[in-house]
Amino acid sequence: MRIAFLTAPEGVEQVELTQPWQAAVDAGHEPVLVSTESGEIQAFNHLDKADTFRVDEVVGEASADSFDGLVLPGGVANPDFLRTDDKAVAFVKEFFERGRPVAAICHAPWVLVEADAVRGRELTSWPSLRTDIRNAGGTWVDEQVKVCDHGPGKLVTSRKPGDLKAFCETYMDVFQEEAAER
């Protein structure tokens, strides 16, 4: 499976990128770093700069058709930047339109709100997003990991870095099930 990891040029929470990435590698899949700009992205450990990572593909040139699923890592700045980028939002919408699975953790559901992908869905996130999710027509729940299969494509969400183990196991299971059905 080829899995897109969509991030902004800076602001992604490093552990929310690296642990799901490693889960994909460990399962024998190909993670691909997609960003709004070429070059490298700057990850953060909360508010402190962490490592940089090489961008594989640029949003606007990438297509959901070439991926089996999409992972949206969090961090506060990362999804806040992505939700204001029309090409990034369109890229996310493409996955739902094609019925491909999407996984989002922490603040990443902000991008889902902007993509109008939470309406009628039950999901979780960092607690400060609950009102945004409700206002966008979603149902917010306080659970470690939530799988929603209402609408096209399954959606896997988690609240925070402390949920990463469950998030990684669940998103890998869901993505593999979805790929097997295609």
The residues carrying an active-site annotation are: 107
> Would you give the distance in Å from CA 118 to the centre of its chain?
13
Determine the Cα–Cα distance for residues 50 and 5; give it in Å rounded to an integer. 18
Q: Is 137 left (phi over 0), alpha (psi -120 to 50) or beta?
A: left
Q: How many CB atoms are located within 10 Å of the residue 27 CB?
A: 14
Check residue 75 and report its DSSP letter.
-
Please report which residue ranges of 39-148 form alpha helices under DSSP H: 77-82, 86-97, 109-114, 130-135
